Chain A
């Protein structure tokens, strides 16, 4: 187990390094300049561009820039944002908590709702309610996230005035509220973006869960549980669902990177200042240090999540033995 873990972590470091290298090279080779971001509006003289290139070391050969960047990253320095004029670490530190908050809330909705809905449908398979819910989940599964976000924003924000239309807190009152008020204010702002992501995700999860549950429900041990006289509720929840949830754990593992990488469109629609929006803005602004740091973070998250998913699967399913194949 320890050896397996060490091997996986070593592989993860290699993956992150490869992503760093690829991102660094690609963003530097892409056309455009960080100091000439727009074809319109203000103009920047070639002298200014040349001076800024010098200041940020962009006038040096790519290999030299790369080696210097690797050295900085090894020391935990991600450089300075070209567009925000502050350390990249500060920009990430501002964005990551917002993205984690949104991601955790969205994943909680996605999996709680998805698993419950899928299990409920499986228990009532091929009845009217199952068919109706299948149509509903198919609708949410098919609908573009940004469209759903805009629709929810229009209905609950603009028409009904029930929920705020954007941001992570009310900029006017948030800081004047007591602690509990600030938490509630944040929750109110979280409902629509997390709900948007959660609903779309839940639709997919529900379909997976329904299929997994239907497969399990006809297994011998479920039949045995029923034969023992257990209630249907107990059979489904204690015996069937526990096994049917295993594929969903893998799905959860794959979804974890989202906790740090964010959702660009939803963050844009709801003015949610998270990683997705930070990375997208940085790409358009050719903010190389932010783009590369965001890619490193995303790669690290994917690698760690993958390991975490395997660990979770092993915990949930005693039949899985990590590293067993290597041991043979």
Chain B
């Protein structure tokens, strides 16, 4: 059998032309958990597409290693080689004259203006649109100078101008009707100006990019990037262990031991962009004009928070790979503040609060009750998250100890969303992914009237603190106001913030200079390299 397999492998190897040598021969196979929908950023709402778009397209500037989003400090030039503030509401960007589209045409200021137009078009409804609402217009001064005019000055205006919008080729997309962008052939054979150009996309299998050796940002060391679509995280890890893939950005906690046992693999922990919470529905099921019979009561929510041993939960589910967040925030955010006043685990205090509010087990069935009403609720969680399913059971047990009955309902994700949107739920385990800045995420999830504020939390004091935080003029001032805003949330307890994950990426040891930016793990791949003495056969394969 072994002989037959070896012969087959040898035959398969026939015909390969192992030619490439030197520093620029690497091939990086990325185990991609999912396939992009389309490689046209304004028309896509897909995280898998983002990773590829990071290589294909450029931004004017991008976040630096500090991850700072205030002012322009720490931002790294990309298409804009420099910029200046004409006045507090006007930024002028000077484009790199060497930037070229992958079809050879130069990148010009009109491309930036066109990209802004597409991203703010209501028909396209790009994800970036919400972040560009304060940009009044974008004008071109000459072919290499573009000016952003804002309606008001605010601390993250530079971040908003550069971070969300990738620059598109006007000469290729101008004639595409805006309502047909999502299905434009361009999206499956894109032309960008990034350091990697599009080569091939085999639906359901792989996507290949090749380094642009003339890239104006510097020649990438790794010559080929291949996303190998993999439907399951554990299978992705198996591909790494078997040497069939080189990098995977998210190792599930249960697979970490397998990865660490392999001497050819190196792990890279980084701050994750996710946080997970138990959100309470503050309004009555089916009638949002009334408070929820249980969770409309702030004291009850605080009692449940006190009854939750979050440290123990994090330890038993994640080991050391997650932290209890001081509010609604991922580890990624600079607003993470461990000095915030978080309610401790104190089940005795929880029982006292419940008793003081009339919740006692009058009939001896183990469940507290008040005026005939049981202290019982339904907890929703998604079927696709093993971590949250485990959390649901552990929380059920912790609440049982203080006389609270929890019925767990596991739902398919979009069904759960629909129930939360319509207010037809009591409590739910929810995860949120955040941008590098808390501004948009906090507004979406915790401000009254926002589309994703499923708890229906509404506190003018918090809204006012949020407004001050987003208007603060310096980073330190903003952090101070964010702190007070989060403290209001923590005290009101519209949710129990359970965990923020530290993510672990795994990369083959032969890959050097690996730097992972937490908000976009592959954003810096153009600076990774595979030294000449570590090249393997597949690095040298020439594509026909």
Contacts and interface: CB of A to CB of B under 8 A. Distances in A.
A273 interface: yes
B204 A95 contact: yes
B67 interface: no
Contacts of B205: 167-169, 171, 271, 273
Interface string B108-149: 000000000000001101010010000000000000000000
A255 interface: no
Interface in A12-36: 31-33, 36
Given A94-B204, A157-B242, A286-B414, A187 B8 contact: yes
Interface stretch (A60-68, A82-90, A216-224, A234-242): A82-90
Interface residues of A, number: 66
B484 interface: no
Contact of B238 (A41, A95, A154): A154
A79 B450 CA distance: 33
B230 to A, nearest CB: 5
Specify which of A55, A98, A166, A273 lies most central, judged by the most chain B CB atoms within 10 Å of its CB.
A166
B386 to A, nearest CB: 14
B11 A158 contact: no
A85 B226 contact: no
B183 A80 contact: yes
B2 to A, nearest CB: 7
Given A165-B244, A184-B12, A185-B12, A41 B47 contact: yes
B105 interface: no
Contacts of A176: 15-17, 541-544
A42 B47 CA distance: 9
A47 interface: yes
A173 B542 CA distance: 8
B238 A157 contact: yes
A180 interface: yes
Given A55-B179, A172-B29, A273-B203, A184 B235 contact: no
A277 B231 contact: yes
B285 to A, nearest CB: 16
Contact of A31 (B11, B16, B415): B415
Contact of B8 (A32, A90, A184): A184
Contacts of B122: 51
Contacts of A86: 183, 188
B451 to A, nearest CB: 5
A327 interface: no
B543 A39 contact: no
Interface in B382-397: 382
Interface stretch (B297-305, B320-328, B427-435): B427-435
Specify which of A43, A163, A168 lies most central, judged by the most chain B CB atoms within 10 Å of its CB.
A43
Nearest to A185: B12
Given A39-B382, A84-B37, A171 B47 contact: no
B398 to A, nearest CB: 23
Given A47-B125, A176-B541, A268-B231, A41 B204 contact: no
A72 to B, nearest CB: 16
A88 to B, nearest CB: 12
A32 B414 contact: yes
Given A167-B206, A286-B414, A162 B5 contact: yes
A46 interface: yes
Contact of B242 (A84, A165, A172): A165
Interface in A120-145: none
A297 interface: no
Given A44-B45, A157-B242, A188 B12 contact: yes
A44 B45 CA distance: 9
B228 interface: yes
A163 B11 contact: no
B68 to A, nearest CB: 23
B498 interface: no
A161 interface: yes
B182 interface: yes
B420 A172 contact: no
A51 B45 CA distance: 15
Specify which of A94, A98, A158, A172 lies most central, judged by the most chain B CB atoms within 10 Å of its CB.
A172
A167 B12 contact: no
A95 B35 CA distance: 14
A46 B451 contact: yes
A175 B187 contact: no
Contacts of B188: 86
Return the 8 tightest CB-CB contacts between A and B, nearest first. A273-B204, A32-B414, A171-B206, A178-B15, A43-B452, A94-B203, A39-B417, A40-B431
Given A31-B414, A45-B451, 10 more contacts: A32-B418, A41-B432, A85-B183, A171-B206, A172-B224, A176-B15, A180-B14, A185-B12, A187-B8, A188-B9
8 contacts: A37-B413, A38-B414, A39-B416, A94-B204, A95-B203, A172-B538, A177-B14, A271-B230
Interface of A: 31-33, 36-48, 51, 55, 80, 83-86, 90-91, 94-95, 98, 153-154, 157-158, 161-173, 175-178, 180-181, 184-185, 187-188, 267-271, 273-274, 277-278, 284, 286
